[in-house]
Amino acid sequence: MTRPPATPSPLTSPTSTTDAATAGAAPTSTATSTRPLIDITPAITPDIAVWPGDTPLSREVLCEIERGATVTLSTLRATVHLGAHADGANHYGAGAAAIDAMPLERYLGPCHVVRARAERRAGGMRVGIADLEFDPTALRHPRVLIHTGTFPDFTRWNTDFAGLEPALVDLLADRGVTLIGTDTPSVDVQESKDLPAHTRFLARGVSILEGLRLAHVAPGEYELIALPLPLVGFDASPVRAVLRSLA
């Protein structure tokens, strides 16, 4: 994956005091155990919508306890871009890192959840800097999740969801952001052929999370946990994405 030269960042780095404190905290500590998890993963059912032409979810039950077997055993078939998922850079860049080679620390740690003034429109709008209900100069963490509200039902595909402006990707990268997530199936609009937002993600070395369920999450600062599977050579991985408030 192409990476820009190292530049000073005003944000907390992955090895900063903020992240180090999160990483070093005992899983059973009072501080973490009293903060409930907020699930931001859409339910994975046979009805979940996938990109047109991609492989929908199906389950083949090989044996069942209810039918006299000693165990229940299933086979799953589906696209790896299923529900909440992390993209490998090789999804949009030839020779770039597959999902198993993406930096794992990107998907765990403090983040901002922000809302965008977005709307569904023919061809899809692109969310720009001015559309954020958030001042980018207030960024403190290297992960940003953007709620657009333009893909409201994960079981009903709509083609008019919002993408991201390439300039927004650059601005967030300039401020030290290393992961951007969205509540839509793609950071580009559906009809895009040249994928300008993906191009900037690749050029700036920023990781992508897509398909997040954010409508029930208030804007604020959270701990993100959304680890991808080490699917060697694959272009994406489903994640179980959850948040925990930092307040």
Q: Which residues are catalytic?
A: 91
Residue 64 falls in which region: left (phi positive, over 0), alpha (psi -120 to 50) or beta:
beta
CA distance 208 to 88: 8
Reduce the DSSP state of residue 210 to 3 states and report it. Answer: strand
Other C-beta atoms closer than 10 Å to the C-beta of 243 total: 24
CA distance 150 to 133: 15
Degrees, nearest 5: CA angle 222-212-124: 125
Nearest partner of 107 among 52, 10, 178, judged by Cα: 178
CA distance 204 to 96: 13
